[in-house]
Amino acid sequence: MKDLQQTNISSISTLKIHVYRLLKLVSITLLLIVYLPGQNFHPADPYYLLLNEKAQFKGRLPYWSNSFRPLFFNSDTISFSATLRSETYLNDNAPNQENMDVRYFSKGSATFNSLQISFNSPYFIFLAEPYINSNKFKNVKGVARSGPFSVLNDNPLIAEDFKKNNAIRNFLAFFHYKGLGFGWHHGNRWWGPGIHSSFQMTNNTIPIPSQIIGTMQEVRIGPLGIYGLYSFSKMNDKVGEDAKYFTSLNAQLSWYGSIVLSLGFSRNYLTGGQNISNYTWKEADAKKIVFEGLLTSDLIGKEYTVGGHDLWDQTLSGYFTLSVPKKRLKLYAEIGFNDNRMYYADFFSQPDHSMATVFGVRDYGIGNNKNWAWGFEWTNLMITYSSRHRPTGPGTWYNRGLYDYSSYYGRRWGAHSGTDSDDWYIYAGYLSDKLMVIPALNYERHGIVSHRPAEVKMEFRLDTRYKYKNTWFGIY
């Protein structure tokens, strides 16, 4: 992101200071899973991550890096799977769900039912999940906030925001040869190693339709795994300079041995909606924006910039994961930046400018039977020290009103804690092939630097599931 113009979020005076107690949200989830012949991909929804990752460590699922999802397994044969999902929700307060895609539930009761069908073959991948969603919501008063804090998850949505969908939760059609191909995706996506949050893409909002080129599988060459995906989306129905676009480029390289090491990146651009020069921004420009230079000095002379600066919002993240399969242990980190640097010297003199980080660990190797697990994740989007004193602006994440503060239909597709925040997530419990009891504590702060004291949210959750044959029953 180039800080040609910045909104000073410290001037947003309407953010009130609140400490949230646990919202009594109870969901009952019934799952019937039929595998013919077996599971053929890693879903994007982190709801499945603990079970699937442990199955990978035990050798029951293929061991591929799962930082970019959905990820289909490499296959020389045809595989098919079907999942029937039924959920009932009871909520006695404002909405407070994270990473729940089309499933928006406010005060009252609601049900969600879907049938997911996935097909994996050597040349074609297909995924479809139609759903029926019904609700009996009551009026609820949200916390009055403005600017980038207006799209936090406890903000009630208007009906138009959560009903504008086509009754398809997931759709993917991908043609490929030896893993490399093209297709269309209108479904959940997750980019990053985290289980609770990620800067670039989560399933915290309804799916964004995209054209994709690259891989939906990891291409293996000996011990080396390669993943790459280009994605392009139009974010509104307007044309000309009012049209807005989301363009991304993701890649990852993995090494498989006694330890598994993965390095990846995600570069994303929000463009369009306004011009600052005489150049009219076009869809063709938006499609190739992720291949432009990294430094502002590289962009001087571009028709759509003024001195190398533009109105667009660029975010860039690097990923690192280290897994030890014998120990059933994974360490991970994400480091992101939300502002271009003028020169390399600019980066080395103030490396923390616009920096955001995620650090975490997931350990599945506790106990004699290794049926105990624990994990920790810290997401930090707080405005950094050097950012506060830069004359060109603080490089604050998710701060462009032009792009609805990086939200889609009222919810962010990136880190749900949002602008100038941090998010602590700690969990530990029992995790076997048939029983899961995982209590977790979530501590979240908003407006850490821009507001004193910061708004605080604390939440305790208990995820319990039991598997009978091919059916999972759960209370969350």
Q: What is the CB neighbour count within 10 angstroms for residue 167?
A: 11
- Torsion 250-256-260-261 (CA) sign: negative
Q: What's the rounded mean pLDDT across residues 45-66?
A: 93
For the chain, give the mean pLDDT.
Answer: 86
Tokens 């910061």 label which residue? 454
Q: Over the stretch 257-298, which tens digit does the pLDDT of each residue have?
A: 999 999 999 999 999 998 877 888 999 999 999 998 887 777
Residues 6+ positions from 373 with CB-CB distance below 8 Å: 50, 54, 362, 363, 364, 366, 428, 429, 430, 431, 438
Q: Which of 16 and 313 is assigned the larger pLDDT?
A: 313
pLDDT band at 26 (very low <50, low <70, confident <90, very high): very low
Backbone φ, ψ for residue 409 (5° rounding): 55, 45
Pick from 238, 127, 131: which is nearest to 189 by CA?
Answer: 127
Which class for 30: exposed (0-12), middle (13-18), buried (19 or more C-beta within 10 A)?
middle
For residue 389, what pLDDT is reported?
Answer: 65
- Above 70 in pLDDT, residue 122? yes
Which residue in 246, 248, 154 sits closest to 192, CA to CA?
248
Write down the pLDDT at residue 165: 55
Q: Looking at residue 162, what is its pLDDT?
A: 63
Give the span between the Cα atoms of 19 and 457, in whole angstroms: 6
What pLDDT does 300 receive?
81
Q: How confident is the model at residue 47 (pLDDT cuts 50, 70, 90)?
A: very high
pLDDT of residue 164: 56
Q: Indicate whether this model's pTM tops 0.95.
A: no
* Measured CA distances, 229 to 213, 216, 463 (Å): 6, 8, 33
Task: Answer whether residue 1 shows pLDDT above 60.
Answer: no
Give the tens place of pLDDT for each residue, 411-459: 999 999 999 999 999 999 999 999 999 999 999 999 998 887 899 999 9
pLDDT tens digit sequence for 399-414: 999 999 999 999 999 9
Tokens found for residue 346? 């600019």
* Model pLDDT, residue 183: 98
Q: What confidence tens digit (pLDDT) does each residue in 83-92 have?
A: 888 888 888 8
Q: For residue 99, is pLDDT > 90? A: yes
Per the CB < 8 A criterion, the answer to whether 463 and 476 are in contact is yes
CA pair distance 199, 192, nearest whole angstrom: 8
Q: Stretch 173-197: mean pLDDT, rounded? A: 96
Give the pLDDT mean for 62-86.
90
- Residues 463-474 have pLDDT tens digits of 999 988 878 888
pLDDT tens-digit map of 200-240: 999 999 999 999 999 999 999 999 999 999 999 999 999 98
Q: What is the 3-state secondary structure (H, E, C) of 324-387?
A: EHHHCEEEEEEEEECCCCCCHHHHHHCCCCCEEEEEEEEEEEECCCCCEEEEEEEEECCCCCHH
**pLDDT, greater one: 5 or 223:** 223
